[in-house]
Homo-oligomer: A and B are copies of this chain.
Amino acid sequence: MAYSSEIKIGILGGGQLGRMLIQSAIDFDIKIKTIDPDENAPCKAISHSFEHGDFKDYETVLRFGQDCDIITIEIENVNLEALEALEKQGKKVFPQPAILRKIKDKRIQKQFFIDNNLPTAKFLLTDNQEAIRNASWQPPYVNKLGEGGYDGKGVQIIKTKADIDKAFVEPSLLEELIDFEKELAVVVARSESGEVKCFPVVEMVFHPEANLVEYLFSPANISEETAKKAFDLAEKTAECFGIVGLLAVEMFLTKDGDILINEVAPRPHNSGHHTIKANLVSQFEQHLRAIMNLPLGDTAQVDPAAMVNILGAEGYTGPASYEGMESLLSEPGVHPFLYGKAITKPFRKMGHVTVIEKDFDKLKEKVNFVKKSLIVKSNQA
């Protein structure tokens, strides 16, 4: 596909990932339409057209794609049959529906890693809570829901036999608890023509309660050898899938220095948000380049960066209000990105803040400053 400003891209999902894709698409003058079941979704005001609808519904997705040249996603939990039908019609659907099928269900995803000799933690498939109770494995282990998890939901640690009472009743898997040194991630892009490029390895720190990324550093504080291993694994994974678009590969660095894939996401990812400010080309622009079959951009990072997720404060559910923006903006190298979500809830991702700072100690200080400064509350109880 040659570049044309007439190209129309449809995105299933209208959340923050779609919003940041649109911000990037504006520079290329690409027309973006989005669809989301939330009538006030973050993409609504800035899409060329926004449809209030259900991306899990076959007819809705099939119709939505009709006037698009390319259809992409910002959430995996969409109607795959409709995407397959659109692909058969000759539409470009990236990531490809067949790959989404392999990734959407974590049980199939894990099996794919095994089938392709991609190192991953040991696991056991379980169909229901009863199967977990009767399994040969004893706690502690991780229990991951097959389908439908997001933002920390659908993953839990089963510490003791008593905890099995709260294990998932739906098809899920048990995974050995990895006593890891660090959690890393690599966002890799693969274009339609097969060009592959990785962003620098990032180091993620998870929120102890919310089970989602609290903040990350980029580049990760690891040896060159480890970084090389992580790149190789990310590239190999993208090649095994044959994906077109972005693939975020989350990994464990074990205490022995091994790298294991934790899980993958076939789209722009929380672990790449800092690239908007910190890298020559952002993950969002890279995704657009990949699915439009344009040359991939230079992923070089200019200065060390951190990314802090701004989560809804505990105890507040309702129309969002932001406290501390004045204080936050008084600090150099600190850049807020608010997602325009109308309603805040405890631990809901409401935005992120990127910090750019050459000195690693100062970077960490600024991360702490950001965490204390910007608070999302609600004026309504």
A positions within 8 Å CB-CB of B: 2-5, 19, 22-23, 26-29, 31, 45-48, 280-281, 289, 294-295, 297-298, 300, 302-303, 320-322, 325-326, 329-330, 332-333, 335-340, 351, 356
Which residue on chain B has the smallest CB distance to residue A277? B280
Q: List 24 A-B contacts (CB under 8 A).
A: A2-B326, A3-B322, A3-B325, A4-B322, A5-B340, A23-B23, A23-B26, A27-B336, A28-B325, A28-B336, A29-B322, A29-B340, A31-B45, A45-B46, A45-B48, A280-B332, A280-B333, A289-B329, A294-B325, A297-B332, A298-B332, A298-B333, A300-B332, A302-B303
Closest beta carbon of chain B to A95's beta carbon, Å: 21
User: A45 to chain B: which residues have CB within 8 Å?
Assistant: 31, 46-48
Q: How far is the CA of A321 from the CA of B281 in the complex (A)?
A: 24
Closest beta carbon of chain B to A258's beta carbon, Å: 33
Are the C-beta atoms of B29 and A297 separated by less than 8 Å?
no
Which residue on chain B has the smallest CB distance to residue A46? B46
Closest beta carbon of chain B to A24's beta carbon, Å: 10
Q: How far is the CA of A162 from the CA of B47 in the complex (A)?
A: 54
Closest beta carbon of chain B to A16's beta carbon, Å: 11
Q: How far is the CA of A330 from the CA of B298 in the complex (A)?
A: 9
Closest beta carbon of chain B to A308's beta carbon, Å: 14
Which residue on chain B has the smallest CB distance to residue A350? B29
User: A330 to chain B: which residues have CB within 8 Å?
Assistant: 295
Query: Quick one: copies of this chain in the complex?
Result: 2
Q: How far is the CA of A300 from the CA of B280 in the complex (A)?
A: 17
Closest beta carbon of chain B to A360's beta carbon, Å: 17
User: A31 to chain B: which residues have CB within 8 Å?
Assistant: 45
Closest beta carbon of chain B to A370's beta carbon, Å: 15
User: A338 to chain B: which residues have CB within 8 Å?
Assistant: 5, 27-29
User: A337 to chain B: which residues have CB within 8 Å?
Assistant: 27
User: A294 to chain B: which residues have CB within 8 Å?
Assistant: 325-326, 329
Are the C-beta atoms of A320 and B5 separated by less than 8 Å?
yes
Q: How far is the CA of A5 from the CA of B321 in the complex (A)?
A: 7
Which residue from B48, B289, B329, B351 sits with its C-beta under 8 Å from A297?
B329
Q: How far is the CA of A163 from the CA of B332 in the complex (A)?
A: 52
Are the C-beta atoms of B332 and A27 separated by less than 8 Å?
no
Are the C-beta atoms of B321 and A4 separated by less than 8 Å?
yes
Q: How far is the CA of A168 from the CA of B377 in the complex (A)?
A: 59
Q: How far is the CA of A356 from the CA of B338 in the complex (A)?
A: 27
Q: How far is the CA of A26 from the CA of B42 in the complex (A)?
A: 10
User: A22 to chain B: which residues have CB within 8 Å?
Assistant: 46
Closest beta carbon of chain B to A154's beta carbon, Å: 28
User: A23 to chain B: which residues have CB within 8 Å?
Assistant: 23, 26
Are the C-beta atoms of A302 and B300 separated by less than 8 Å?
no
Which residue on chain B has the smallest CB distance to residue A45? B48
Q: How far is the CA of A301 from the CA of B177 in the complex (A)?
A: 45
User: A300 to chain B: which residues have CB within 8 Å?
Assistant: 332
User: A27 to chain B: which residues have CB within 8 Å?
Assistant: 335-338
User: A332 to chain B: which residues have CB within 8 Å?
Assistant: 280, 297-298, 300
User: A289 to chain B: which residues have CB within 8 Å?
Assistant: 329
User: A281 to chain B: which residues have CB within 8 Å?
Assistant: 335
Closest beta carbon of chain B to A125's beta carbon, Å: 42
User: A333 to chain B: which residues have CB within 8 Å?
Assistant: 280, 298
Q: How far is the CA of A27 from the CA of B330 in the complex (A)?
A: 16
Q: Which 3 A-B pairs have the closest CB atoms?
A: A298-B332, A29-B338, A3-B325
Q: How far is the CA of A338 from the CA of B48 in the complex (A)?
A: 15
Are the C-beta atoms of B329 and A295 separated by less than 8 Å?
yes
